[in-house]
Structure formats: C-alpha cells, structure tokens
C-alpha cells in the first residue's frame, strides 16, 4: 500500500492537476445528466481509481511487470479530457463578458497547476534532424569502417547516443550498465569513470574486450601514456581524443 | 525532399485511405471533416495493428526485418486499397442518393412548389446537408474560428518545437538503437541494443515491437532511423492526439462549435503544462513521442475512450444493428491490436479499461448487449499476455 501511495504522489507532482481532476469528477457527478458521459467520465474513472489503490492489483503488477510502471494504470483516467471539458462547460455557463474572464482565469489556473513541459532540463536545442549531439556524429563518422563493425569505449555522455546513430559501432558496455549499482559495474566502465584514468589498466582492459578505439575527453587526466600500451592518439575531434588500438583487427572481415 | 514525400505518403496518405474502412463509425451528421480526421487516426492505428499481427510471429521465428517489411507493406497497401474501395463506394452511394433527391426535387418543382425545393437543393448541392450546415456554422461564428485557429497554432508550435528541441531520454538508447540495428542488419531483437553484442531474445520487448515500425518507415523513406524517430514521427503523434481530443470534444459538445473550440484551447494548455510529473501522458507526448508508451497513452487510450463513447451512446439509445456491432467490434479489435504493438503493458491496461467499461455499462444501461463486442476487443491483448507467459515459462527467452 505504501508503494501505491508513493507512486500516486510521484504521478501527481504538486497535486494541483489531480485536485482539479477530482473537482471535475465531482462536478460531473453533480451536473452531468447524460448517462453515457456519466458512465465513461465519472463512474468508470472512479472505479479505476479504486482499483488502482487495491493492494492485490499492485501485488499482481509487482510480480509480473515491476512496481515502477504501476503508475501507468493512472493513464486510464481521462484527466485531460475531463478537466478541459469541465472548464469549457464553466465558460459556457458564464454570462456576457464573464465568459471571457472565466476562460482566461481557468486558462491561468491550468498554467499554474501544471508545469511547462519545455522547462524540463532534459530539453536541448536539436543540432540536426537526427537530434544527436554533433560530437557523437563526428566521432562515430571518424571511427566507423565501411563493411564491418568496430568496437569502441566511450565516455559516459556518448553511451546514450552512439547506437541510436549507428549500429556499426559496438561498445563493451552501454547505458544499461550505468543504471546498475556502481559496485557491479563493468570493469571497463569503472576505469573510464575514475577521476584519473589509469592508462595501463584501461589499455589492457580495452584490448581484452577487442576495442579498436578508446575515446576520451581532451580534459581527462591520464596517469601514464596510452600510446605506450598500444593505443596511440589517432585524432582529435570536438574536444575528444580518439586512441586507436595498433594491434586491433581492422580487416574488412568480421572478427566477432 | 523525396524522402519527406515518401514518409508523408506512409504517415498521412495511406493511413487516411486505409481508415476508409472505419469511416462509418462516425455518424453521418458530423460531416466530412470529422470523418477524415477519424479515418486518418484509425488508418494509422490499423497499420500498427497489422505490424503487431505480422511482427510477433516473424520475430519469434527469427526472420529478418526485410521479410517483415515486405509482408507489412503488402498488407498496408491492401488495407489502403480496401479503404479506398470503401470510400469510393460511399461516394458513389452518396451521389446516387443525391441524384434521387434531385430527381424528387425537380419533380416537385414541376408540380409548382419552386421556392421550397430550391432552398433544399441549394443545401444538398453544397456537398450534402450535414456538410453544408457544418460549414455554414463554422464560418458564422468568428469567435469559434479564432479559438480553433489558436488551438491549431498551439499544436503547430508544439510540432515546430519537436523539430528544434530535443529531449534526451535514456530509454531511446534501447528503443531507437533496436530500430537502428534492425534497419541496418535485418536482425530483430537478436542482440543487445545497448552495445551491439549478441544475446537472448528479450520476450517482453519482442511482444511489443514498436521500434520495428520506425525501422520500416526508415527503410521505406530512405531517412535514418534517428531522423524518422526524432523528427518524423512526433508530428504524427501530436497531430493524431489533437485529432482524437477534437473527436472526443465533438462527441461531448455536439454542434456547439464555440465551446468545442474553447475546449480544444484548454486541451492544448493542459498538454503544454502537462509536466506536473515526468510520468504524465502529456509529458510522454511532448518529450518521448517516438516511443511506443507515448503512442499507447496518447493515441490508443483516448481512441478507446472515443469508441466507448460512441458505442455506449448507441447502446443507451437501444439501437439494434448487427452490422454496426460488427463494425464496432472490428474497430475495437484494431485498436487493441495496435495497443499491443505499443507496449507489453497494454495487455493489462486495455483489459482493465475494457473490463471496467463492461461493468459500468452493465450497471448504467442495464443491458448485456455491449458484452460480446467488448469481450472480443479484449481478446488480442489477452492472447499476447498469455503467449508471453507461455513462452517465458519455456526458459528460452530473457
């Protein structure tokens, strides 16, 4: 029950939209005469809301789908339609110039209750139609070989994008690794994330994973010289240094 | 430019034609515009449904995306052809009935009642009585026109922002990478999308292969998967969601165009300010519009509400029409199959929604007549749910 309520609170955010929705439900219950609308926009959501808070349903979800997506039952509530329709109905009932005032007041209330989607810190200006950061595009274009796949180890900021951009660049670990507990991290991931890069261990580990390239930010502090361990600097692109495995297999035949 | 046109063909024109099969769901009195909107949304979802039907067995039999693409394009083209045939038949019937009306009118004219029949003929000549009344009503109310334009401007702004802004969502590292890998190698779900290494089939994702749609659209248009996913698909999602909210508004407010336009503005405000939590459907629509989950929350679920609204309206009016019940069943099944493509969780969500609808329908309308249609609609998600558990129990999958 505790998790259900926590998930509900997370889903509500500040809770204002959900308060408006519940108010709209009560409004519908009191004012709506059409039995079809009452059935679909009052009784059915109320039933679904009651079902959401049932521990047996959450236990069922927990068992088969995981609790982190249990909140999606709340998608079954027609929140947007109900609030918008109630607001429109309130505007309809207002008389004369009060219609405009009611409309503007309700629009402001909706703005205050929610939060502008584009304010999210995850929004960035798109650099190209693919919506990939240009450093990912440039580095991948520089290392990709026509006719075969290459293996490369990248800094964290690349992991999300490389395989979206090209399937010809493989990685020893991906974004999923970063979601795990740090202690169970891929060894290579731990080496790449260390404050100071241990050149010898990184080169050794990357070579054992069959990496053709190591990509590091120019600003990374490196203990030792990667070229001394078989990874000389090959190129510098967009603030990243690409180290090439001089013993790597760059033939145009797949080496697994 | 050619690539954009091809993508437009597959995202706009062909779905619109395929949607012709479902056009009769919309009452005739609503007029052509609403039918066109519904046909496009339904056509798009019928393409989703066809992909779900074809992709799951193809993936489980370790076939390639190239084969799937061939089957799907053939099936989608056949659906578009069938839809076009339905539309043409409808137009032919309409013209014939107008011809009969005209014949009646001229008969009446010759019998002396000229003034009345001319008025009636005028409306019919303007493109069917419902359309003419609707068009006349639309332009009579400048406030309604201005507010509708405001809602459309807000929609347009959202679409433009989907081009110029990018939302860096971590889940794309799996979904778009899966689509990119499939488009390049033909392998569907055979490796670990995050890294490119080989691995067991992840059954949960195989049962809802929405990324394959992006792969196929990418291969058909010649654009990269990332471009289709991040720049091409959001337009369809946002416009489709707007169309569905408009259809819901139309069914709620009927001919009151002014209130309908006020409602549409409120809907757009709620979407713009829908970041009350990162889990809201509005947030998924704006930020993650290329993911199946977003399509489920913003296309399939509102569509199911809209269909339930129309279906229950007919149930409450005690209409008995076997053909319409069949049409509703076909439309519901298409929608629930499309839900299957979007997310594995749809099996639970759609069953829950339709189960609640069955119960509320029985209690509110004191009838069991809606039961067969809604039970039929629940079968596809239940089938995929059961298939998932059966296959998962074999231990051959992740």
The pLDDT value recorded for residue B126 is 40
Q: Minimal Cα distance from A172: which residue of B?
A: B195
Tell me which DSSP letter residue B194 carries.
T
A26 touches B: beta carbon within 8 Å: no
Q: What SS3 state is found at A135?
A: helix
Q: How far apart are CA A25 and CA A86, in angstroms?
A: 9
The number of domains in chain B is 1
Interface test with B, best of A36, A43, A150, A151 (most B CBs within 10 A): A36
Closest chain B C-alpha to A140 CA, distance in angstroms:
14
Strand positions, DSSP E, B93-177: 165-167
Rounded to 5 degrees, what are φ and ψ at A53?
-85, 10
Q: How far apart are CA B135 and CA B2, in angstroms?
A: 35
Q: Would you call A72 and B297 a contact, using CB atoms and an 8 Å cutoff?
A: yes
Q: How far apart are CA A22 and CA A42, in angstroms?
A: 10
Interface test with A, best of B234, B312, B360, B389 (most A CBs within 10 A): B360
Per-residue pLDDT at A197 exceeds 80: yes
Q: Would you call A116 and B272 a contact, using CB atoms and an 8 Å cutoff?
A: yes
Provide the Cα torsion B91, B328, B345, B368; round to 10°.
Answer: 170
Predicted model pTM: 0.90
Query: Using CB atoms within 10 A of its CB, is residue A74 exposed (0-12), middle (13-18) or buried (19+)?
Result: buried
The pLDDT value recorded for residue B114 is 45
**Residues of B whose CB is below 8 A from A149:** 196
pLDDT in tens, B165-198: 999 888 999 999 999 999 998 889 888 889 888 8
Q: How far apart are CA B134 and CA B32, in angstroms?
A: 9
Residues of chain B with pLDDT under 50: 112-128
* Contacts (Cβ under 8 Å, ≥6 apart) of B282: A80, A117, B270, B271, B274, B275
Instruction: Show the tokens assigned to B102.
Output: 């005209």
* B245 → closest Cβ in A12, A81, A174: A81
* Contacts (Cβ under 8 Å, ≥6 apart) of B185: A167
Closest chain A C-alpha to B74 CA, distance in angstroms:
27
Residue B144 sits in which domain range? 2-394
* Contacts (Cβ under 8 Å, ≥6 apart) of A165: A130, A132, A136, A137, A140, B180, B224, B226
Q: Minimal Cα distance from A210: which residue of B?
A: B197
The pLDDT value recorded for residue A251 is 73
Q: Would you call B361 and A129 a contact, using CB atoms and an 8 Å cutoff?
A: no
Q: Would you call A118 and B165 a contact, using CB atoms and an 8 Å cutoff?
A: yes
Q: How far apart are CA A220 and CA A156, in angstroms?
A: 12
What mean pLDDT comes out for the span A160-165? 94
Q: Minimal Cα distance from A176: which residue of B?
A: B194
The pLDDT value recorded for residue B23 is 92
What mean pLDDT comes out for the span A249-256? 62
The pLDDT value recorded for residue B116 is 44
A126 touches B: beta carbon within 8 Å: yes
DSSP string for residues in B14-82: HHHHHGGGGGGGS-GGG-HHHHHHHHHHHHHHHHHHHHHHHHHHHHHTT--HHHHHHHHHHHHHHHHHH
**Residues of B whose CB is below 8 A from A71:** 279
Segment (H or E) for B141: none
- Which residue shows structure tokens 């990332």? B226
Q: Minimal Cα distance from A106: which residue of B?
A: B266
Closest chain B C-alpha to A218 CA, distance in angstroms:
24
Q: Would you call A76 and B312 a contact, using CB atoms and an 8 Å cutoff?
A: no
Q: Bin B366: left if φ > 0, else alpha if -120 < ψ < 50, else beta.
A: left
Segment (H or E) for A195: none
Chains A and B form CB pairs within 8 A to the count of 261
Instruction: With beta carbons less than 8 A apart as the criterion, state whether B338 and B76 touch.
Output: no
Q: What SS3 state is found at B279?
A: coil
Instruction: Kindly list the domain boundaries of chain A, sorted by start residue.
Output: 2-119, 134-244
ipTM score here?
0.90
β-pair partners for B68: none
The pLDDT value recorded for residue B139 is 60
A97 touches B: beta carbon within 8 Å: no
Q: Minimal Cα distance from B143: which residue of A?
A: A100
Nearest CA to B75 among B103, B52, B107?
B52
* Contacts (Cβ under 8 Å, ≥6 apart) of B122: none
């Amino acid at each position: 029950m505790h998790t259900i309520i926590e998930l509900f609170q997370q889903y509500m955010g500040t809770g204002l939209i959900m308060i408006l929705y519940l108010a709209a439900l009560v409004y519908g219950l009191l004012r709506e005469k059409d039995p079809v609308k009452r059935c679909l926009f009052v009784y059915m959501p109320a039933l679904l809301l009651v079902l959401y808070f049932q521990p047996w349903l959450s236990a069922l979800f927990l068992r088969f789908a995981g609790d982190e997506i249990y909140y999606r039952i709340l998608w079954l509530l027609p929140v947007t339609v109900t609030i918008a329709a109630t607001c429109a109905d309130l505007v309809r009932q207002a008389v004369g110039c009060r219609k405009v005032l009611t409309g503007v007041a309700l629009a402001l209330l909706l703005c205050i209750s929610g939060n502008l989607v584009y304010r999210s810190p995850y929004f960035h200006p798109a650099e190209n139609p693919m919506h990939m950061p240009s450093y990912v595009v440039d580095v991948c274009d520089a290392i990709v070989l026509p006719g075969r796949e290459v293996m490369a180890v990248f800094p964290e900021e690349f992991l999300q994008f490389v395989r979206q951009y090209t399937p010809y660049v493989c990685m020893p670990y991906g974004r999923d690794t970063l979601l795990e507990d740090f202690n169970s991290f891929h060894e290579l991931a731990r080496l790449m994330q260390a404050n100071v890069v241990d050149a010898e261990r990184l080169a050794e580990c990357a070579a054992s994973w069959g990496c053709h390239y190591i990509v590091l930010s120019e600003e990374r502090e490196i203990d030792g010289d990667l070229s001394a361990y078989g990874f000389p600097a090959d190129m510098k692109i967009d603030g990243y240094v690409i180290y090439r495995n001089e013993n790597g297999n760059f033939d145009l035949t797949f080496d697994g | 430019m050619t690539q954009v046109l091809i993508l437009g063909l597959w995202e706009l024109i062909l779905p619109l034609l395929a949607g012709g099969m479902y056009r009769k769901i919309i009452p005739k009195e609503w007029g052509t515009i609403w039918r066109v909107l519904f046909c496009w949304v339904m056509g798009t979802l019928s393409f989703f449904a066809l992909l779900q039907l074809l992709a799951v067995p193809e993936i489980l039999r370790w076939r390639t995306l190239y084969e799937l693409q061939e089957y799907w394009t053939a099936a989608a083209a056949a659906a578009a052809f069938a839809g076009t045939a339905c539309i043409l038949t409808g137009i032919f019937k309409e013209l014939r009935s107008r011809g009969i009306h005209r014949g009646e009118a001229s008969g009446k004219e010759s019998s002396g009642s000229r003034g009345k029949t001319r008025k009636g003929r005028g409306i019919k000549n303007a493109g069917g009585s419902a359309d003419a009344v609707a068009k006349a009503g639309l332009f009579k109310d400048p406030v309604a026109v201005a507010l509708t334009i405001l809602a459309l401007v807000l929609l347009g702004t959202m679409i433009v922002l989907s081009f110029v802004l990018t939302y860096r969502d971590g889940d794309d590292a799996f979904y778009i990478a899966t689509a990119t890998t499939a488009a390049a190698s033909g392998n569907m779900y055979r490796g670990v999308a995050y890294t490119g290494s080989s691995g067991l089939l992840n059954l949960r994702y195989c049962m809802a292969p929405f990324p394959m749609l992006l792969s196929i659209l990418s291969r058909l248009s010649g654009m990269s998967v990332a471009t289709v996913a991040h720049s091409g698909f959001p337009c369809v999602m946002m416009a489709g969601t707007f169309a569905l909210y408009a259809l819901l508004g139309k069914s709620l407010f009927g001919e009151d165009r002014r209130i309908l336009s006020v409602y549409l503005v409120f809907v757009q405000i709620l979407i713009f300010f829908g970041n009350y939590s990162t889990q809201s459907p509005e947030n998924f629509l704006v930020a993650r519009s290329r993911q199946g989950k977003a399509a489920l929350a913003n296309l399939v679920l509102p569509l199911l509400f809209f269909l339930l609204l129309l279906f229950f309206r007919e149930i409450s009016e005690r209409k008995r029409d076997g053909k319409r019940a069949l049409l509703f069943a076909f439309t519901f099944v298409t929608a629930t199959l499309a839900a299957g493509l979007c997310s594995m969780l749809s099996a639970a969500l759609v069953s829950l929604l339709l189960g609640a609808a069955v119960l509320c329908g029985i209690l509110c309308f004191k009838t069991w007549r809606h039961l067969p249609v809604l039970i039929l609609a629940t079968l596809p998600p239940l089938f995929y749910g059961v298939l998932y558990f059966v296959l998962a129990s074999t231990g051959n999958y992740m």
